[in-house]
């Protein structure tokens, strides 16, 4: 069964208040809503990523994981002081990684990175990063400090403007040839100047070729970029799958949607 490895859920503000609204104020977007959209596109499993506006308050994320009854997985934002018992509880509910957000106004940057990496290593979790391309050199340095796998959101922020022969693309290649770095083929609408995202096709195909066993796909539903007042309208759910259908041969598409997620989120 196929996976969507990057979605967010938001509950009613009275029940799940945001920690800070510097980035955006989210409308209600529920697990049931995304499950319906995903099922229509042939997706059975979701990875629920903690949104920046909730900070380290995981109540909404964990409620959704409970409602999913084991079908889905989660990526949390935690503080360095989290207890071992709490980490074990998160693991039992389906959390398999922690996120560091170096981009959003409410992001946690690299707070507590070394301690958190040390604490999650025995659980077999990964560290997920939302970064700008300028942060890739920084990730190379972080890579020396832990053996925990890295997962890079949204093509690591690369756009067509960075060029496949540019410095940032070169650093990304250096990271992706390692067997401890993964990348999410997600957030197309954030990076593309083309309505069909075709300008990202060469990068998508190159990354899939370099690291066929470490690519995963995500819809980025419900597309929080547009909650921040960006121009345009959110894409239809199925439109975020179109680049994979267009660019990847069946065996690579299956790796991105099935084989690789099963390994990463086991």
- Residues classed as catalytic: 220
Contact predicate 76/93, CB 8 Å: no
Beta bridge partners of 97: 75, 126
Sheet holding 95-101, edge to edge: 2-7, 43-49, 73-76, 95-101, 126-130, 150-152, 181-185, 215-217
Contact predicate 102/109, CB 8 Å: yes
Residue with tokens 């980035």: 23
Contact predicate 152/113, CB 8 Å: no
187 contact partners, CB below 8 Å, separation of at least 6: 6, 153, 154, 155, 218, 220, 225
| CA 147 to chain centroid | 19
d(CA 173, CA 208): 11
**Assigned token pair, 236:** 């239809």
């Amino acid at each position: 069964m196929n996976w969507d490895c990057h979605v967010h859920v938001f509950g009613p503000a009275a029940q799940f208040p945001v920690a800070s609204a510097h980035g955006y104020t989210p409308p209600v977007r529920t697990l049931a809503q995304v499950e319906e959209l995903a099922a229509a596109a042939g997706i059975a499993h979701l990875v629920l990523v903690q949104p920046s506006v909730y900070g380290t308050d995981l109540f909404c994320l964990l409620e959704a994981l409970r409602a999913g009854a084991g079908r889905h997985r989660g990526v949390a934002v935690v503080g360095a002081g989290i207890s071992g018992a709490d980490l074990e509880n998160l693991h039992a509910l389906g959390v398999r990684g922690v996120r560091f957000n170096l981009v959003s106004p409410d992001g946690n940057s690299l707070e507590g990175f070394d301690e958190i990496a040390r604490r999650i290593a025995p659980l077999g979790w990964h560290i997920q990063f939302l970064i700008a391309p300028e942060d890739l050199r920084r990730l190379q340095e972080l890579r020396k400090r832990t053996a925990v796998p890295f997962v890079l959101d949204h093509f690591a922020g690369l756009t067509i403007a960075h060029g496949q022969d540019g410095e940032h693309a070169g650093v990304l290649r250096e990271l992706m040839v390692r067997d401890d770095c993964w990348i999410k083929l997600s957030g197309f609408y954030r990076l593309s100047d083309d309505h069909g995202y075709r300008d990202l096709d060469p990068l998508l195909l190159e990354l899939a070729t370099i690291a066929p066993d470490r690519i995963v796909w995500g819809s980025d539903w419900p597309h929080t970029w547009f909650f921040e007042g960006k121009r345009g309208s959110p894409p239809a759910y199925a439109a975020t799958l179109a680049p994979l259908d267009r660019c990847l041969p069946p065996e690579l598409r299956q790796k991105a949607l099935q084989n690789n997620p099963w390994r990463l989120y086991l």
